[in-house]
Homo-oligomer: A and B are copies of this chain.
Amino acid sequence: MKSSDRQTAEGILFTDMYQLSMAQLYYRVGLHETTAQFDYFFRSYPDYGEHQAGYCISAGLEWLLDWMQDARFRDEDITHLRHQTGQAGVRLFADDFLDWLQAHGTFEGITLYAIPEGRVVHPNVPLAVVKGPLVMAQILETSLLNHLNYPTLIATKAARMREAGSGHLLLEFGLRRAQERSANAGTRAALIGGADFSSNTGISYVLGYPPKGTHAHSMVQAFMALGEGELGAFRAYADVYPDDCLLLVDTIDTLESGVPHAIKVFEELRRKGHKPVGIRLDSGDLAYLSIHAAKMLDEAGFEDTAIVLSNQLDELTIWQIVTQIRTEAPRCGVDPDRLVKRLVYGVGTRLITSRGDSALDGVYKLVAIQNHHNNGEWVPAIKISESPAKTPNPGQKRVWRVYDKRGKATADLLGLDDEDPREMDKILLHHPIEHATYRVLNREDITEVEPLLVEILREGELVYTLPSIEDMRELRQNDIARLDIGVRRLMNPHIYHVSLTQRLWGLKQKLITSAI
Q: Could you tell me which A residues sit within 8 Å of B by CB distance?
A: 1-3, 5, 8-22, 24-26, 28-29, 31, 36, 38, 49, 63, 66, 70, 77, 80, 84-88, 90, 92, 134, 138, 141-142, 145-147, 149-151, 173, 175-186, 199-206, 210-222, 224-227, 236-237, 239-241, 243-244, 251-253, 275, 277, 283-284, 349, 353-355, 358-362, 364-366, 368-369, 371, 373, 379-387, 390, 515-516
Contacts and interface: CB of A to CB of B under 8 A. Distances in A.
B365 A359 contact: no
A375 to B, nearest CB: 13
Contacts of A1: 63, 66, 184-185, 206
Contacts of A145: 176-177
Contact of A3 (B12, B70, B186, B277): B70
Contacts of A142: 175-176
A54 to B, nearest CB: 21
A6 to B, nearest CB: 9
Of A22, A31, A90, most B-chain CB atoms within 10 Å:
A22
B219 A25 contact: yes
B206 A8 contact: yes
Contact of A179 (B87, B182, B213): B182
A191 to B, nearest CB: 13
A8 B211 CA distance: 13
A206 B77 CA distance: 11
Nearest to A354: B358
A212 B21 CA distance: 10
A146 B175 contact: yes
A395 B336 CA distance: 43
Nearest to A79: B205
Contact of A173 (B16, B36, B371): B16
A17 B201 contact: yes
Contacts of A244: 86-88, 92
Q: Copy number of this protein in the oligomer?
A: 2
B369 A184 contact: no
Contacts of A354: 358
27 contacts: A1-B206, A10-B184, A13-B201, A16-B176, A16-B199, A17-B199, A17-B204, A18-B213, A22-B218, A25-B237, A92-B241, A92-B244, A138-B216, A146-B183, A150-B180, A180-B184, A180-B185, A180-B186, A181-B185, A217-B366, A221-B366, A221-B381, A225-B380, A253-B516, A283-B386, A349-B359, A354-B358
Contacts of A173: 16
Contacts of A366: 217-218, 221-222, 225
Contact of A210 (B28, B84, B178, B212): B84
Contact of A214 (B18, B147, B204, B384): B18
Contact of A201 (B16, B222, B227, B365): B16
| Residue in A21, A85, A355 whose Cβ sees the most chain B Cβ within 10 Å | A21
Nearest to A373: B226
B178 A18 contact: no
Contacts of A13: 201-202, 205
A443 B38 CA distance: 67
A24 B240 contact: yes
A214 B386 contact: no
Which are the 5 A-B pairs with shortest beta-carbon distances? A13-B202, A18-B213, A17-B213, A179-B182, A88-B243
Contact of A138 (B149, B182, B218, B369): B218
Contacts of A181: 10, 180-182, 184-185
A179 B150 contact: yes
Q: Which of A38, A210, A222, A355 has the most CB of B within 10 A?
A: A222
A204 B10 CA distance: 11
Contact of A14 (B175, B213, B217, B365): B175
A235 to B, nearest CB: 10
A284 B386 contact: yes
Given A66-B2, A178-B150, A222-B134, A86 B241 contact: yes
A449 B507 CA distance: 70
Contacts of A362: 176-177
A213 B21 contact: yes
